[in-house]
């Protein structure tokens, strides 16, 4: 009797456990949704950097399906398409990212799809659209620094009058997100023969990174002084050489396109008759170890003075 009760109870228990596993699997396992969105995004980034574009696209699409990191997902999807040469698809992905920019995990990232979109538009030959996007980036950043709102023409005239050392001592242009926009617009306007507009943008493409470097050195070294000798260009040269000696700052100079912007700015200054200012920048560039081809071009230019 007791044995019969045990057998029956065991069968009931076994059937109950089978039903429990079949009908309520979530009680004994993790969510069937898989890893969170940010992990999917990171896996996609890693695959992208490893050159596994198909795998990266899979993870970015999975990220988009979750619906919480939409802007990040579209931005990286656009990068995959751009790497594959699918520019129209990349353009649309970047526009989608901008449309959903409020979902960016890091708010500063809202600049990223705009920079990428402008670059793609340039590659597609849509110059006017690219210019409009770059201008939007600059406008967005200027709203964050209202105290620094100084007309570009005034900045340029002061630079032409005072030179690099005095200019950087008096003005500390801000707006890290605008550096590639100013550099790109400077080049675009230079190619179109619009020298004044080009010089205004190239001035900022050069001096914003220098201003940021001064601020960084002041925060790191309380005794640091930018001006240590008479005004001219030597203090600016010393700043650049000091920056090149620091691995992080040197990488920043390279990423910011500093050397190319210095060369283009100097070339335009020479073209527009500001030979003293051009000579200063060509000389500065000729001393910079990281200048590469731009240093060589500057040395060639100096030979012609």
For residue range 196-228, list pLDDT tens digits in order.
Answer: 999 999 999 999 999 999 999 999 998 999 999
Query: The domain spanning residue 107 has which CATH number?
Result: 1.25.40.10
Same domain? For 80 and 152 the reply is no
Whether 119 is covered by a domain: the verdict is yes
- The conformational region for residue 106 under phi > 0 = left, psi -120 to 50 = alpha, else beta, is beta
The answer, yes or no, to whether residue 15 has pLDDT greater than 70, is no
Please give the residue that has the higher pLDDT: either 32 or 171: 171
> Looking at residues 295-303, what average pLDDT do you find?
97
Assigned domain for 27 exists: no
pLDDT at 228: 93
Q: Is the same domain home to 173 and 280? A: yes
Same domain, 151 and 298: yes
Mean pLDDT for the stretch of residues 174-203: 96
Note whether 292 and 228 are same-domain residues.
Answer: yes
Over residues 152-167, mean pLDDT:
92
Residue 171 is part of which domain span?
Answer: 146-303
Choose among 144, 143, 63: nearest CA to 100: 63
Do 104 and 175 belong together in one domain? no
Residue 144: what pLDDT? 79
Same-domain pairing of 179 and 99? no
* Domain count of the fold of the chain: 2
Mean pLDDT of 151-157: 82
Residues 230 and 166: beta-carbon distance below 8 Å: no
- Count the Cβ atoms, other than its own, within 10 Å of residue 210: 23
Average of per-residue pLDDT across 269-290: 97
Indicate if the pLDDT at residue 238 is higher than 90: yes
Q: Is 31 inside any structural domain?
A: no
**What is the percent of the chain where pLDDT is above 90?**
79
Q: Are residues 53 and 116 in the same domain?
A: yes
Question: In terms of domains, do 159 and 257 share one?
Answer: yes
The answer to the question of residue 23 being in a domain is no
User: What would the mean pLDDT of 30-55 be, rounded to a whole number?
Assistant: 88
Query: Residue 272 domain-assigned?
Result: yes
Whether 15 is in a domain gets the answer no
The rounded mean pLDDT for the chain is 89
Note whether 201 and 270 are same-domain residues: yes
Residue at a domain's end among 125, 156, 179: 125
Based on the fold, state whether residues 48 and 181 are members of the same structural domain: no
- Give the whole-number percent of the chain exceeding pLDDT 70: 87
Let me know if residue 133 belongs to a domain.
Answer: no
pLDDT value of position 33 = 66
Does the residue 19 lie in any domain? no
CA atoms within 13 A on the CB side of 249: 18
- Where residue 105 falls among pLDDT bands split at 50, 70, 90? confident
Please give the pLDDT value at position 150. 64
Q: What is the per-residue pLDDT for 153? A: 76
- Which pLDDT score is estimated for 128? 97
Judge if 235 and 276 occupy the same domain. Answer: yes
Mean pLDDT, range 107-133, rounded to an integer: 97
Mean pLDDT in residue range 41-61: 97
Confidence of residue 149 (pLDDT cuts 50, 70, 90): low
Mean of pLDDT values over 116-123:
98
Query: Are residue 178 and residue 63 in the same domain, yes or no?
Result: no
């Amino acid at each position: 009797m007791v044995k019969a009760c045990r057998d029956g109870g065991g069968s009931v228990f076994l059937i109950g456990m089978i039903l429990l596993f079949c009908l309520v699997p979530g009680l004994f396992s993790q969510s069937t949704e898989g890893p969170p969105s940010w992990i999917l995004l990171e896996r996609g980034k890693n695959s992208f950097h490893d050159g596994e574009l198909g795998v990266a696209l899979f993870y970015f699409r999975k990220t988009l399906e979750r619906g919480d990191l939409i802007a990040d997902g579209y931005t990286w999807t656009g990068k995959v398409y751009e790497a594959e040469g699918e520019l129209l698809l990349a353009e649309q992905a970047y526009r989608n990212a901008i449309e959903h920019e409020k979902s960016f995990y890091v708010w500063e990232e809202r600049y990223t799809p705009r920079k990428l979109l402008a670059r793609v538009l340039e590659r597609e030959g849509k110059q006017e659209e690219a210019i409009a996007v770059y201008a939007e980036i600059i406008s967005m950043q200027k709203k964050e620094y209202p105290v620094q709102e100084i007309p570009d023409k005034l900045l340029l005239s002061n630079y032409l009058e005072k030179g690099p050392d005095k200019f950087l001592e008096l003005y500390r242009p801000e707006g890290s997100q605008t550096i590639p926009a100013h550099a790109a617009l400077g080049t675009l306007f230079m190619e179109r023969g619009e020298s004044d507009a080009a010089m205004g943008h190239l001035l900022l493409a050069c001096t914003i990174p220098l201003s940021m470097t001064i601020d960084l050195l002041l925060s790191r070294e309380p005794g640091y002084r930018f001006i240590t000798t008479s005004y001219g260009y030597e203090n600016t040269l010393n700043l650049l050489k000091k920056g090149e000696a620091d691995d992080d700052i040197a990488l920043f100079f390279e990423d910011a396109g500093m050397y190319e912007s210095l060369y283009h700015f100097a070339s335009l200054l020479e073209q527009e008759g500001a030979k003293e200012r051009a000579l200063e920048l060509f000389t500065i560039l000729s001393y910079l170890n990281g200048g590469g081809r731009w240093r060589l071009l500057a040395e060639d230019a100096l030979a012609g003075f």
